[in-house]
Amino acid sequence: MKNNPLSVAVHRIRRAPYQTLAAVAIMTMTLFIASIFFLVAAGSQAVLKYFETRPQVNAFFKQEIVPTPQAVDLIKAQLDSTGLIQSFKYVSKEDALQIYRDLNKSDPLLLEAVTASMLPASIEVSTKNPKDLTIIADQLKTQPGIEDVRFARDIVDTLAKWTGSVRVIGFSLVGANVFITFTIILLIIGIKVANRRDEISLYQLLGATGGYISAPFVWEGILYGLTGGLIAWTASFLILLYSMGFLVSFLAGIPLLPPPLWFMFSLLGGELLLGSLIGGFGGLLAVQRFLKA
């Protein structure tokens, strides 16, 4: 018996391999673009968040100075008294060397050339409110032994602009592709509906409901979406794995990669859902247009 709409859909898909190929190809392309933009957007958002939560003001002591604990405590007490700071961290010359070693552990030549005495001690301060950065920075500049004060705000602002642009471009491109894919799925399933015009008319005469007639076409669209989603996700995951080495060194010190498994599986779920919705609605609309006519 062929009354199961899913098996009817599978049967029809197998009977039209080229139409299936076209439908899956366009679906895969759209979902692949969607997943790449999603990964770029999520990555840049994570980088932005990383910088936002980093100590936002770095004050470096002169290289020849080794601040005493009392001097550091004094600076901390003065900053605490403003009530504006969230965290205060003193990074000694030895700590700086350790950070340097961690960042360059794959390059022994760089490690050999640097000693603790070559690196400055520093203070990392984050504020509760970004607008108070200037006050803290000004105060740090007046402290004895401080040579340089750096803000993270400029980085964050630039990054925020980039992230915003990535989102706008991504949404526009993915939106346009989703529309094109929906139209093509509508067209492909519409052709199949038209080819089965007599069969559908017979179903109606025999008392079939709209749901009974539509279900196999909706399933067909969903299967295109699921297949396209799975291929697109696999491709984007493989590309991510392939680029991991380069990306890890590019994002030195930012703990972003490898992405957690739950994140990648959420991406898979999202792609399958998006693909199913595009395909399912495409199939439904194609057959409903015929039934209404």
Partner 1 sequence: MITAQHLSKKFGGISALDDVSTTIESGEFVFLTGPSGSGKTTLMRLIMRELKPDAGKLILTGPAKIHEYRRTIGMVFQDFKLLADRNVWENVALPLEIAGIKPADVETAVKKALELVDLTARADLFPAQLSGGELQRVAIARAVVTRPKLILADEPTGNLDPKTARSILKLLSTIHSQLQTTVIMATHNAGLVDHSDKRVISLQAGRIVKDTPKGKYEE
Nearer to partner 1, 212 or 237 (CB): 212
Tokens representing 129 are 């409110």
Nearer to partner 1, 112 or 198 (CB): 198
Q: Which stretch binds partner 1 (CB under 8 A): 48-56, 103-111, 113-121, 206-214?
A: 206-214
CA distance 194 to 261: 44
- Minimum distance of partner 1 from residue 183's CB (angstroms): 29
Q: Are 226 and 274 spatial neighbours (Cβ–Cβ below 8 Å)?
A: no
Of 159, 166, 169, 171, residue with least CA distance to 251: 159
Residue recorded with tokens 């038209």: 194
Bond prior to 258 in cis (omega within 30° of 0): yes
Q: Does 208 bind partner 1 (CB under 8 A)?
A: yes
- Minimum distance of partner 1 from residue 13's CB (angstroms): 14
Q: Does 108 bind partner 1 (CB under 8 A)?
A: no
Separation in Å, CA 3 to CA 14, 38, 136, 198, 282: 17, 39, 73, 18, 22
Q: Does 199 bind partner 1 (CB under 8 A)?
A: yes
- Choose, by CB under 8 A, the member of 50, 100, 212, 237 that binds partner 1: 212
Q: Does 293 bind partner 1 (CB under 8 A)?
A: no
CA distance 93 to 66: 8
- Choose, by CB under 8 A, the member of 207, 246, 261, 293 that binds partner 1: 207
- Choose, by CB under 8 A, the member of 3, 70, 129, 142 that binds partner 1: 3
Give the binding site for partner 1 (CB under 8 A): 1-3, 198-199, 202-209, 212
